[in-house]
Amino acid sequence: MLELSNVEVLYSDVILAVKGITLAVPKGSCITLLGGNGAGKSTTLKSISNVLMTEDGKVTSGTISFEGARIDGGDPAKIVRNGIVHVMEGRRVLSHLTVEQNLIAGGHMEPSTQSMRRRLDGVYDRIKRLASLKSRTTGYLSGGEQQMVVIGRALMANPKLIMIDEPSLGLAPMMVDEVFGVLRSLKDDGLTLLIVEQNTRVALDLADFGYVMEDGRIVLEGNAADLRANEDIREFYLGLNLEGERKSYRSIKHYRRRKRWLG
Amino acid sequence: MFDPIDFLNYLINGALVGLLYALIAMGFIVIYRASKVFNFAQGELVVFGGFVVWWMVIQTGLPLVVALPLAMVMSALFGLAIERIFFSRLVGESGFAMVMVTIGLLILIRGLILVLFGPQVRPFPIIFPLKPVIIGDILIPRSLLIGAMITVVVGLGLSWFFNNTRAGLKMTAVAEDHQVALSMGISVKRSIAFAWALGAVLSTLGAIIYLSGKSLNFLASDIGLSALPVALLAGFESIAGVLLAGLIVGAVQGLVTAYVDPVIGGAVGSVFPFVIMLVILFIRPTGMFGWRTIERV
């Protein structure tokens, strides 16, 4: 459904943030993109939605295609219209508006008010919590509630593919479970998901397939189950050693603690 | 001695003038919301609109019913042209650069008006009957009264539009955050273009009410400056708030002009709105109804 091949992203004509990545998101699948800070995960999503445009970045080589058509460098509004919605990192609610106003703004592409209302009811139905928060100003909601608002707002655009950037960022463990519960329900309904996460455990629990990015490159890919079992993932992203116990870092020299990916 | 009828006269007339300021301030606010640009050339847009109306009615001799809508269309096109020529190139530039462009625009439009229409004082067509409305002993200029009604209707209408309709909420999303709006599939450029067109139309509407039956030359742009405290007092995001801010500024200005000016013998009335504005900004930097920075602790 969505294919990236050898995509390179350059910021301000000097900073190469993504150094040629290839990934595929098949229809109906849930893909996760893992990796540490500054690995280029968010930039990859921004290159797909082309929000990159506002940050003086551009795709300098490679192609991005969605349902067979090239979309790299396209108009962000058209990309959303095609069915890709990007939920940006950091719960970017329209903070002075109410929950309902946020959702209505998200449904701006619906052909009529009636169809928008139907969609709105659908969102309230799926994310029950939002229905009771309808008239609250989103800026004052809790982090988890705001995350629900932005996911709901993305659903209002009637997407085929939702790209979501770090939904667990800064949330309490219980809220993380609730947010991922919503994402699971979307997956079960056949929506295609591309999730960027640092919380490797919850992401691999939900996803079918994962990519690991480091320094602008994809260094590892595989089925979620394989990744969960992978020695390096266990050690460096899940914090487990081979026996499944927590590792004591006191016994190792600090420079060996971090995995160095060569390639 | 103090005469309650005089007092009411000053109060009501002041409030009506304040609502006229509010209409001009709406132009500021509509443009600011969408493009985050404080448009210093707003007063020039008013004068431009005024001259377009003058040219169509007095020079070309079109009847008012044709000339006024046509003038609105022309000013909308003028707003669109400004956006396309100057501001669509500046997307992503600093706010400071854009504000400097509006100052350049101020000088440019002023020059353009002098070249196109000349420096002479022109008679502006009488759009609203000159006969004042008289209620008891209170005398109200008809143009201001009708203008105030138009302002209230337009203000409440726009406020409803921006808060309830899908098209309006789209514009409000742009006002909140360009990048988020973009990620939601909203065309930020189109929203900004629409805001400029709307800002120019509001200015022309303001010109019609302000200038009806008066004379017109390029100095009429001073009304842009008078509207400034109203916009700041209301806060730059609130359309409905600007109505109340206009009433307050206008009423206070009217009373101060009537009672303080003769005593001091100076133009306290024209300074006072700015004093109110400064005091309010000390207490509430985002104005009375502007978007306050939401901080969660």
pLDDT for A35: 86
Least confident of A73-77, A82-86, B21-25, B95-99: B95-99
Tokens representing A262?
Answer: 């060569």
Q: Is residue B123 over pLDDT 90?
A: no
**Per-residue confidence at B86, pLDDT binned at 50, 70, 90?**
confident
Q: Which residue of B has its CA nearest to A79?
A: B185
Q: What is the pLDDT of residue B193?
A: 92
Higher pLDDT, B160 or B219: B160
Q: Which of A:104-163 have CB within 8 Å of B?
A: 104-110, 113, 116, 137, 139-140, 153, 157
Q: What per-residue confidence (pLDDT) applies to A245?
A: 56
pLDDT of residue A258: 62
CA distances to B15, B148, B210 from B256, rounded to whole Å, are 12, 21, 21
pLDDT of amino acid A215 = 87
Q: Could B183 and A79 be called an inter-chain contact, meaning their C-beta atoms sit closer than 8 Å?
A: no
Q: Kindly state the average pLDDT of the residues A98-120.
A: 91
pLDDT (mean) for B109-121:
87
Over 70: is that where the pLDDT of A240 sits?
no
Chain B CB within 8 Å of residue A94 CB: yes
Closest chain A CA to residue B290: A96
Taking the C-alpha atoms of residue B10 and residue B256, their distance in angstroms, rounded to an integer, is 9
- The whole-number pLDDT of residue B221 equals 83
Q: State the complex-level ipTM.
A: 0.84
Per mean pLDDT, which range of A235-239, B39-43, B133-137 is the poorest?
A235-239
Q: Under an 8 A CB cutoff, do A153 and B184 touch?
A: yes
Residue A256 has pLDDT above 60, yes or no: no
pLDDT of residue B33: 87
pLDDT at B63: 87
The residue to which tokens 């909308």 are assigned = B76
> In A, which residues are within 8 Å of B172 by CB distance?
94, 97, 101, 105
Q: Is the pLDDT confidence value at A31 over 90?
A: yes
Chain B residues whose beta carbon lies within 8 Å of the beta carbon of residue A56: 92
At A210 the pLDDT is 92
pLDDT digits (tens, 9 = 90+) for B170-187: 999 998 888 899 899 998
The dihedral formed by the CA atoms of A19, A25, A31 and A33, expressed in degrees to the nearest 10: 10
Instruction: Please enumerate residues of B whose Cβ is less than 8 A from a Cβ of A.
Output: 91-92, 163, 166-167, 169-170, 172-173, 176-180, 182-187, 237, 291, 294, 296
Q: What is the pLDDT of residue A185?
A: 93
Q: What is the 3-state secondary structure (H, E, C) of chain B?
A: CCCHHHHHHHHHHHHHHHHHHHHHHHHHHHHHHHHCCCCCCHHHHHHHHHHHHHHHHHHCCCCHHHHHHHHHHHHHHHHHHHHHHHHHHHCCCCHHHHHHHHHHHHHHHHHHHHHHHCCCCEECCCCCCCCCEEECCEEECHHHHHHHHHHHHHHHHHHHHHHHCHHHHHHHHHHHCHHHHHHCCCCHHHHHHHHHHHHHHHHHHHHHHHHCCCEECHHHHHHHHHHHHHHHHHCCCCHHHHHHHHHHHHHHHHHHHHHCHHHHCCCHHHHHHHHHHHHHHHHCCCCCCCCCCCCCC
Chain A partners within 8 Å of B291 (Cβ): 96
Flag whether pLDDT at A257 surpasses 80: no
pLDDT band at B21 (very low <50, low <70, confident <90, very high): very high
Cβ pairs bridging A and B (under 8 Å): 84
CATH topology of domain B4-283: ABC transporter involved in vitamin B12 uptake, BtuC (1.10.3470)
Instruction: Please indicate whether, in this complex, the C-beta atoms of B185 and A109 are within 8 angstroms of each other.
Output: yes
Rounded to the nearest 5°, which phi and psi values hold at A192? Answer: -85, 135
Testing the interface with B: which of A104, A134, A135 to mutate, by most B Cβ within 10 A?
A: A104
Model confidence at A252, in pLDDT bands (50, 70, 90)? low
Query: pLDDT tens across A144-194, in order?
Result: 899 999 999 999 999 999 999 999 988 988 999 999 999 999 999 999 999
Q: Which sequence spans correspond to the domains of chain B?
A: 4-283
What is the spatial order of strands in the sheet that A57-66 belongs to?
A: A15-25, A2-11, A57-66, A69-70
Probe site for chain A from B164, B183, B186, B297 (most A CB atoms < 10 A)? B183
